[in-house]
Amino acid sequence: MIDLNWLQKLINMVDESDLDSLEISRGLGTRIRLSKSPTVHVVAGAATDRLSGAAPAPAISAPVSGTEFAGNAPAASPDASREAGEGSAAGESALLEITSPMVGTFYRAPAPDAPPYVEQGDRVAEGQTVCILEAMKLMNELEAEVAGTVREICVQNGDPVEYGQVLFRIEPV
């Protein structure tokens, strides 16, 4: 049982300090996390603000054929692709794009001296971290929403990225 007076004092202390967040773990699985900044959980390119309940941004754009990779322009909608007859050639696989849910800096690894989360050709599982996006000194892990093989890493480590910019192309399994 959590003492509400103790919790209110913690909230006030964090609010009045220079700390951005505080996390405390106590016995029997009790965990308290206080944060001045909203907690952002990124899943396959979708940022979800858990505190405000904001709707997530589109996570993965429509499948695209191998001929539509020019630039960072978003892929056509699935309906537009079907109407144009694209992506229907035999042997041509559809790739899913993981796009950036925010403006920030792209990092392939959790630390400068650590190995990258994924390399081109690696298989990823659903929910696996594929990179970190830094925005306003907050490190946001980006997770794959589908299992598949990384076919293209579209951004270099340390590059600034824009909202909606393609970061990875994944061939689903």
17-44 confidence digits (pLDDT tens): 877 777 777 766 677 777 766 544 444 4
In angstroms, rounded to a whole number, what is the distance separating the alpha carbons of residues 107 and 22?
24
Tell me what pLDDT residue 119 has.
Answer: 96
Per-residue pLDDT at 1? 58
Predicted pLDDT of residue 14? 80
Whether the model pTM is above 0.85 = no
What separation in angstroms does the CA of 125 have from each of 16, 44, 146, 166?
A: 41, 11, 7, 19
State pLDDT tens for residues 74-101: 444 344 333 334 444 433 458 999 999 9
At the topology level, CATH places domain 40-172 in: OB fold (Dihydrolipoamide Acetyltransferase, E2P) (2.40.50)
Interior angle at CA 61, CA 59 and CA 66, nearest 5: 140
- C-alpha distance across the termini of the chain, in Å: 45
Sequence spans of domains, the chain: 4-35, 40-172
Whether the pLDDT of residue 51 is over 60: the answer is no
What's the pLDDT at 6?
80
